[in-house]
Amino acid sequence: MAITLDQTIRQKQRSWFATILGGQTFWVLIAVILACIFLSMATDSFATAKNIYNITRNVTFVAIIALGMTLVIITGGIDLSVGSVLCLCSMVLAIVMHAGYSIEVGIAASIGTALLVGAFNGLLIAYLGFPPFVVTLGMLSIARSLAMVASNNTVVFQFGPDHDKLLALGGGAWLFGIANPVLYMVVLALMTGFMLRWTKFGRYVFAIGGNEHAATLTGVPVQRIKVIVYMISALSAGVAGIIQTGWLGAVTTNIGAGMELQVIAAAVIGGANLAGGVGTAFGALIGAALIEVIRNSLGLLGINAFWQGSFIGGAIVLAVLFDRIRNLQRDE
Amino acid sequence: MGFCVNAHIRFSWEDIGKANSLEPRVEKKPSSKRTNSYKFWEARRLVAVLELTNISKHFGAIQAVNDISFSLEAGQVVGLMGDNGAGKSTLVKMIAGNFRPSHGTMRLDGAEIVLHRPKEARLHGIEIVHQDLALCNNLTAAANVFLGRELRRGIWPFRILDYKAMYKRAGEIFRELKSETRPRDLVKQMSGGQRQAVAIGRTMLSEAKIVLMDEPTAAISVRQVAEVLNLIRQLRDRGIVVVLISHRMPDVFSVADRVIVMRRGRKVADKPIAASSPEEVTGLITGAIEQV
């Protein structure tokens, strides 16, 4: 009798293979791969080194922010301010460097700004109980306005003594011809994935999204974790801003406009659940990749660019539809 | 008559318990089958674990709990009964560190304690199983058991979660509870009885002395009730005091050794279950019987 109980307790309910097959991320990955195969055969220009370089680099800015956004979404929150924070951080970097400071000072100022903004969002949400939607909507407006105030709404394209270093940081390809931003993205994704799976912090992020009340009762420092999560989200926007500045070689006050919606779309397509408790770092990358592949392919296939929104919107609904169908089956 | 009904109810509930338990039901009276855990229990029962003396609590003008004294001994299941608003929850929340008593003292193992927050109660070995169980559906059973007390390995700053150890320990706890709960399963997919096992499993991580259970059988099926009552017996056999707050007369009469009845903030009865009957307790709860 005791052996039976032991066996039951040891038994795994689902193998790792079944777990992978059951995940939304897996099916989105399949969709991305199929789309790439189809495009390689249907067009001559897709599978060229130049186009692949372009796609991978374009993916990164959305993907990096989507990593931070995924954390926020797992806790059951939302961060609408990331596009504006990206703009503000780029502008802080540009202005500091334009004033003659080194790239290190510029990056430190930029990251400091991001952390400050994230801490402000987080404190209001965690300690004063503001709804995340409202706080970050306010910050969306404030951060962009601050960027305009700081730059007097001009374009900055001269970055002082370290001008070339900054451009190399964002626009170069230091390793095997892979664009630098892609390298940063991979490193950040690995870090995020590790954090979610292997640290106490990651466990708490999931617990808060699953049942915040339970997390509080069991002694999880819910408020502190939430503040950190919003700081990470703003930080990811800041990092993306720094890289994008280096890549573009100029900063205007409307970079990152509307980006928050692309980022949220990427996270959701990649399997993050807006109700909280579910999401992966890998999913964020795959989601961002799918959006970029759709965009790129429409251009290559000669389809009117006005259709872009329909296809991306369709992908969002379709990705979540798979998840709904699975859940409906389980409920029955 | 009272005795007759009492015996009948007890028999039927025991029966269900038997059908579900994986081991022959251990009688309340000590038998030779109980070995180590029983000795442990016997050793500890000599001292009262928790003593409440003249405990009162008022919220402004409302007197929620009025001058209550009792002591709890190791390895005892105490049913705490009373109507809504009788002061059961307030009393339990004071023991669990959620509220501080307005008057009176609490002594744990002979030493006076003052609890400011739930965490302090836990450090003293007082655990509570909340009515809503406080589980995260998106996490595994093991993750829920260890929530807030995760095991880690490695050296700082590379300390990572020790999944293997947590699955192993959670598995041991479920085995001790004789519950067919798999540590790797998501709580989302579990039955009411398994969810209870996960919530109760938490109390077994540390050496708990007192486990307070708030309405553990309120919202689950008959089969699962039997499972939960078995879990309570497992805790008792480990020498733990279990305070069972319940509205369900059959549950209290099948598992408790002693019943405390509260009405309007006062203790109106405190006696061995064998000396009472469901009718008497019902009378005490409603006020038909003033006091015994």
- Per the structure, the count of domains in chain A is 1
Please say if the pLDDT value at position B25 is more than 50: no
* Cβ partners under 8 Å of residue B45, min gap 6: B73, B74, B75, B76, B239
Please say if the pLDDT value at position B75 is more than 90: no
Give the side-chain half-sphere CA count within 13 A for A236: 32
Please report, for residues A196, B187, B212, B214, B243, the alpha-carbon distance to residue B131 in angstroms, rounded to integers and kept in the order given.
Answer: 30, 16, 10, 5, 13
- Chain B interface, best mutation among A211, A329, A331, by max B CB count within 10 A: A211
Please say if the pLDDT value at position B48 is more than 90: no
Gap between the Cα atoms of A71 and A230, Å rounded: 8
Retrieve residue B5's tokens: 């009904």
Q: Is residue B275, in this structure, part of any structural domain at all?
A: yes
Domain that holds residue A280: 26-39+46-324
Q: Report pLDDT for A13.
A: 57
Residue of A nearest to B131 (CA): A214
Give the side-chain half-sphere CA count within 13 A for A103: 15
Q: Which of A167, A143, A145 is nearest to A94 (CA)?
A: A167
Residue of B nearest to A213 (CA): B134
- Per the structure, the count of domains in chain B is 1
Gap between the Cα atoms of A86 and A90, Å rounded: 6
When pLDDT is averaged across residues B64-77 and rounded to a whole number, the result is 89
- The confidence band for B26, taking pLDDT boundaries of 50, 70 and 90, is very low
In this prediction, what percent of chain B has a pLDDT beyond 70? Answer: 83
* Cβ–Cβ gap B171/A10 under 8 Å: yes
Q: Is residue A315, in this structure, part of any structural domain at all?
A: yes
* Cβ–Cβ gap A214/B178 under 8 Å: no
Q: Is residue A11, in this structure, part of any structural domain at all?
A: no
* Cβ–Cβ gap A8/B189 under 8 Å: no
CB atoms within 10 A of CB A166: 23
Q: Which residues pair with B112 in a beta bridge?
A: B107
Residue of B nearest to A275 (CA): B138
Instruction: For B129-158, write each residue's pLDDT tens digit.
Output: 888 888 999 999 999 999 888 888 888 777
Dihedral sign for Cα B144, B145, B149, B150, please: negative
* Cβ–Cβ gap B189/A13 under 8 Å: yes
* Cβ–Cβ gap A277/B138 under 8 Å: yes
Please say if the pLDDT value at position B21 is more than 70: no
Distance from CA of B47 to the nearest CA of A (A): 29
Gap between the Cα atoms of A90 and A84, Å rounded: 10
Q: What is the pLDDT along chain A (332 residues), one digit of tens a residue?
A: 445 677 777 766 556 666 666 677 888 888 889 988 988 888 888 888 888 888 888 899 999 999 999 999 999 999 999 999 999 999 999 999 998 888 899 999 999 999 999 999 999 999 999 999 999 999 999 999 999 999 888 888 888 888 888 888 877 777 777 788 888 999 999 999 999 999 999 999 999 999 998 888 887 889 999 999 999 999 999 999 999 999 888 899 888 888 999 999 999 988 888 888 889 999 999 999 999 988 888 888 888 888 888 988 888 888 888 777 777 766 55
Q: Report pLDDT for A245.
A: 92
Please say if the pLDDT value at position B6 is more than 50: no
* Cβ–Cβ gap B161/A1 under 8 Å: no
Q: Which residues of A touch B22 (CB under 8 A)?
A: 1-2, 5
Backbone angles phi, psi at B44, to 5 degrees: -80, -20
When pLDDT is averaged across residues B46-63 and rounded to a whole number, the result is 85
Instruction: For B116-126, write each residue's pLDDT tens digit.
Output: 877 788 888 89
Q: Which helix (H) or strand (E) holds B107?
A: strand B103-108
Retrieve residue A291's tokens: 């959006």
Distance from CA of B172 to the nearest CA of A (A): 9
Q: Report pLDDT for B80.
A: 93
CATH number, domain containing residue A273: 1.10.3470
What pTM was computed for the model?
Answer: 0.82
Name the average pLDDT for chain B: 80
- Chain B interface, best mutation among A218, A326, A327, by max B CB count within 10 A: A218
Residue of A nearest to B181 (CA): A9
Q: Report pLDDT for A177.
A: 73
Q: Is residue B187, in this structure, part of any structural domain at all?
A: no
**Facing residue for A203 by CB, picked from B143, B184, B185:** B143
Gap between the Cα atoms of B164 and B184, Å rounded: 10
Q: Is residue A100, in this structure, part of any structural domain at all?
A: yes
* Cβ–Cβ gap B136/A5 under 8 Å: no
Q: Is residue A307, in this structure, part of any structural domain at all?
A: yes
Q: Is residue A147, in this structure, part of any structural domain at all?
A: yes
* Cβ–Cβ gap B136/A219 under 8 Å: no
Contact A101, A46 (CB under 8 A): no
Q: Which residues pair with B263 in a beta bridge?
A: B266
Q: Is residue A87, in this structure, part of any structural domain at all?
A: yes
Q: Is residue B190, in this structure, part of any structural domain at all?
A: no
Q: Which residues pair with A21 in a beta bridge?
A: none
* Cβ partners under 8 Å of residue A109, min gap 6: A92, A93, A96, A101
* Cβ–Cβ gap B152/A220 under 8 Å: no
Q: Is residue A19, in this structure, part of any structural domain at all?
A: no
CB atoms within 10 A of CB B34: 15
* Cβ–Cβ gap A207/B136 under 8 Å: yes
Q: Which residues of B touch A198 (CB under 8 A)?
A: 160-161
Q: Is residue A143, in this structure, part of any structural domain at all?
A: yes
Contact A218, B201 (CB under 8 A): no
Q: Report pLDDT for B47.
A: 61
**Facing residue for A210 by CB, picked from B118, B130, B136:** B136
Please say if the pLDDT value at position B71 is more than 50: yes
Q: Which residues pair with B78 in a beta bridge?
A: B243, B258
Distance from CA of A284 to the nearest CA of B (A): 19
Give the side-chain half-sphere CA count within 13 A for B24: 6
First-residue to last-residue Cα distance in chain B = 19
Q: Report pLDDT for A15.
A: 64
Among A1-5, A20-24, B26-30, B43-47, top mean pLDDT goes to A20-24
CATH number, domain containing residue B7: 3.40.50.300
* Cβ–Cβ gap A219/B122 under 8 Å: yes
- The confidence band for B22, taking pLDDT boundaries of 50, 70 and 90, is very low
* Cβ–Cβ gap A215/B147 under 8 Å: yes
Q: Which of B99, B18, B96 is nearest to B56 (CA)?
A: B99
Domain that holds residue B106: 2-137+207-286
Q: Report pLDDT for B27.
A: 42
